A = this chain, B = another copy of it.
């Protein structure tokens, strides 16, 4: 089932207690696409500058990631520089250069508009809205957001929530958006605004899912060697949406399994910088870790 993602493509410079990299391939749409592509072809929509290394574009195209929607504009590519310290719970942004991403107005290629599954990566809510307006009635739309938009563009964000099927966000964002510290109550409030499904990520502590029928809890995979947390959220969303697009139907059951796959792929992603670890692994590695994980969380 065609899966479309609209998000950032950029060059990241990252420092963690385990190493340092300069201008590696990054951005929400990249992590998402690579993760989702274990299950399904992906259509990537984003923008880069004319300094974007050719081999990065080729890297994406060699997989079944369609980069026809990856526009190249005159100027520089989006750049982010960040540092993780100590327990690496959150990054300190050292610098952000929006560059061509700053004036970006996503135009969905005609051939992509029939995509049945759509993921709106974290971005300006009004821009997420305009992406949806170009789509031809997708079956399942999920979106991510972040604290910045909750603070600055709450009204626009609430408009987006009315038009999507699933919201994927972290626990802090859920609390901030609803003013409710209890996650169950926060999830129910978000559901009342619009999305049928709320997926709250709790980092190493796993995720919770609320559906119209129930509430589900899932521990995180206990990764022993975290090298760089960048892209954990986007690779989680990619694994999740990729699995759903492959299954073609969204039910409580497929969604729960999708969260397991998202968790597993994110656990690989953080084991190295950029998408390096995701480039090394195969679907068989994912299945092996998934079986291990399912045994860890089985309590009968």
Contacts and interface: CB of A to CB of B under 8 A. Distances in A.
Contacts of A137: none
Interface stretch (A19-27, A200-208, A273-281): A200-208
Nearest to A260: B299
Given A185-B224, A205-B205, A299 B87 contact: no
Interface stretch (A35-43, A176-184, A243-251): A176-184
Contacts of A214: 295-296
A221 to B, nearest CB: 8
Interface size bucket, A side? 20 to 34
A185, A215, A219 — which one has the most chain B CB atoms within 10 A of its CB?
A219
Interface in A276-300: 294-297, 299-300
A184 B222 CA distance: 7
A216 B297 CA distance: 6
Contacts of A196: none
Contacts of A181: 87
A222 B205 contact: no
5 smallest CB-CB distances across A and B, nearest first, come from A217-B219, A205-B205, A256-B299, A217-B296, A184-B222
Given A216-B297, A217-B297, 13 more contacts: A87-B181, A206-B217, A206-B219, A214-B296, A215-B296, A217-B219, A217-B222, A218-B219, A218-B297, A256-B299, A257-B300, A294-B299, A297-B297
